[in-house]
Amino acid sequence: MGNPFVFGSATSGEQFTDRVQDAERLLANFKHGVSVILISPRRWGKTSLVQKVSAMAQSKDIKVVNLDIFSCRNAEDFYQLFATEVIKQTANKWEEWAENAKKFLSALIPKISFGIDPNTDFSVSLDFSNTRLNDELLDLPQKIAKDKGFRIVVCIDEFQQIAEFLDHVHFQKKLRSVWQLQTEVSYCLYGSKKHVLSELFSNQSMPFYKFGDIFFLQKISTDDWITFICERFRSTGKSISAELARKICDTVENHSSYVQQLAWNVWIKTKTSATSTDVDAALIDLFNQNSMLYYRYIEGLSGFQINFLRAVADGKSNEFTRSETLQNYHLGTSANVKRLKDALEKKELIDITGRIVSFNDPVFKIWFQKNIRKL
C-alpha cells in the first residue's frame, strides 16, 4: 500500500491535487513560448505544479529543463549549474552531452566530468576568466534549440536566490538582456519567498519587471480538497466523512502541505472510519511535530514583533494605524509598525497582500494563540 498523502516534497500522480486550470494555463505558456513567473507563499505546491506541467509539455518539439538554484551562492555557481542542466536535459545520452558541451561551449573551454554512473552523473566546469563570454553561456539554450529544431522551456526554482548574489541588479540586467532576445526559449521562474519574487518582478525599477506572465498561485478550494481526501482514504480501504475532511481543510486554512500532513496524521489513527477524535488527536500530533520549529521562530523575535503577531492573530491587520491598536498591543508608533511588517515579512512569518496581513503558516498561528501568553 502506497502513502496516500505526501508532504514535505513535490507530489505527483494520484497525490497531486486538482489545479486543473492552473496546469492548463501554465501548459499553454510552455507550448506557446510565453515566459511565466509563478508566485505564492512557501509550500503551496508550486514545484509540484511545475513538475506536472513539465511532464505534460515534454515532446519531440519541446524540451523542458528544470533546475533548482537554491545552492548557488554567486553568479559563477549559477552559470555552472545552468550549463550543466541545459546540456544534460536537452540530450538523451552521455555521449551527446559531451558532444554538445564541446560544440556549444567551445569558446568557454569546458571541462566535462562524469561520475560513477555516466548516465546520470554529469557536470560542466567553466573558465570564467573572460567574463565577456558569459553572454554566450546564457544564450546556450537558444543555440541548442535552433540547432536541434525544438523549443526549450527553462524552469528555475528558488529564483529569488539571485537577489543574494554580489551586485545582483547588474546580474539580473545581464540575464534579462540575453533572455529577452531568445526566440526559441521561454522561462518559468519561481521560488519560495513571495515577497522577494514580488519585488524582483513587480517593481518597475527592477530589470525583470514585466518579463513574463505573472501568475499568483491561489489556494486549492475546499471542495476539491474534500474530494481528494475522501478518495485517498477510500483507495486504502478506509473512510472519512466530507464533514471531517472539511474540518481538516478549515483547520489549516487550505494550506497545501499542511492539508496533506494533517490528513496523513488522521489516516494513521483511523482503523476503518475516521472520527472527530482522530482529527483532534492528529492536530495535537501536528503541533508536536512542528513545535521545535515554532519555538525557534519565537526565540528570534523582539517583544515588539511578538506583540505585532498577537495583533495579527487577533484579526487586527486592518487596524494597525488606530491609536487604540497601537496602545493595546504596545506597538509603539505607526512608523514602528511599518518596520515590524518589513522585518516579519523578511523572516517569512507573515504574508502581506494589499492591506491584509496574515500568518504565512496557519498551524504556527494556532500554536502561537495557544502557547504565547495573551496581553
Domains in the chain, start-ordered, CATH in brackets? Answer: 19-216 (3.40.50.300), 222-296 (1.10.8), 300-371 (1.10.10)
Cell of 169: 541588479
Report the alpha-carbon distance of residue 112 to residue 127 in Å, rounded: 12
Residue 20: closest CA among 49, 59, 54: 49
Question: Residue by residue, what is the 3-state secondary structure of the chain?
Answer: CCCCCCCCCCCCHHHCCCCHHHHHHHHHHHHHCCCEEEECCCCCCHHHHHHHHHHHHCCCCEEEEEEECCCCCCHHHHHHHHHHHHHHHCCCCHHHHHHHHHHHCHHHCCEEEECCCCCCCEEEECCCCCHHHHHHHHCHHHHHHHHHCCEEEEEEECHHHHHHCCCHHHHHHHHHHHHCCCCCEEEEEECCCHHHHHHHHHCCCCCCCCCCEEEECCCCCHHHHHHHHHHHHHCCCCECCHHHHHHHHHHCCCCHHHHHHHHHHHHHHCCCECCHHHHHHHHHHHHHHHHHHHHHHHHCCCHHHHHHHHHHHCCCCCCCCCHHHHHHCCCCCHHHHHHHHHHHHHCCCEEEECCEEEECCHHHHHHHHHHCCCC
- Orientation of helix 94-104 relative to helix 140-148, angle to 10°: 110
Q: How far apart are CA 349 and CA 367, in angstroms?
A: 13
User: In this structure, what C-alpha cell is assigned to residue 147?
Assistant: 540547432
Residue 9 above 60 pLDDT? Answer: no
For the chain, the straight-line distance linking the first and the last C-alpha, in angstroms and rounded, comes to 49
Question: What tens digit of pLDDT does each residue of 179-223 get?
Answer: 999 999 999 999 988 889 999 999 999 999 999 999 888 889 999
pLDDT at 375: 46
Higher per-residue pLDDT: 242 or 13:
242
Most confident of 240-254, 317-331, 353-367: 240-254
Band the pLDDT of 18: cuts 50, 70, 90: low
- Cα–Cα distance measured from residue 120 to residue 88, given in angstroms and rounded to the nearest whole number: 9
Task: Report residue 14's pLDDT band, with 50, 70 and 90 as the boundaries.
Answer: low
Asked whether 348 and 282 are in contact (CB, 8 A), the reply is no
10 Å Cβ neighbour count for 295?
11
Task: Name which of 365, 372, 370, 371 is nearest 253 in CA terms.
Answer: 365
C-alpha cell belonging to residue 314:
487577533
Of 200, 222, 220, nearest in space to 212 by CA? 200
Interval 38-89: pLDDT, tens: 998 787 888 889 999 999 999 999 999 999 999 999 999 999 899 889 988 9
Task: Give the pLDDT band of residue 354 (cuts 50, 70, 90).
Answer: confident
Residue 255's pLDDT is 94
More confident site: 292 or 355: 292
Q: What is the dihedral angle through the alpha carbons of 192, 193, 196, 199, rounded to the nearest 10 degrees?
A: 70
CB-CB contact of 179 with 82 (8 Å): no
The dihedrals phi and psi of 238, each to the nearest 5 degrees, come to: -115, 175
Averaged confidence pLDDT in the chain: 88
Residue 127 pLDDT: 64
* 1-5, 148-152, 165-169, 273-277: range with lowest mean pLDDT: 1-5
pLDDT of residue 106 exceeding 90, the answer is no
Which phi and psi angles does 276 have, rounded to 5°?
Answer: -60, -35
Per-residue pLDDT tens digits for 268-283? 999 999 999 999 999 9
Q: Residue 12 pLDDT > 50, yes or no?
A: no
Amino acid 149 reads: G
Judged against a pLDDT cut of 90, whether residue 33 lies above it is answered with: yes
pLDDT score recorded for residue 243: 98
Among candidate residues 293, 290, 289, 264, the one with its CA nearest the CA of residue 279? 264
Model confidence pLDDT, tens digit, residues 307-344: 999 999 999 988 888 899 999 999 999 999 999 999 99
| φ, ψ for residue 60, nearest 5 deg | -70, -20
173 C-beta neighbours (distance < 10 Å), count: 14
Q: Which pLDDT does position 104 carry in this prediction?
A: 76
Q: What angle do CA 357, 360, 361 make, to 5 degrees?
A: 135
pLDDT exceeds 50 at position 373? yes
- Tens digits of residue pLDDT in 257-269: 999 999 999 999 9
pLDDT of residue 94: 64
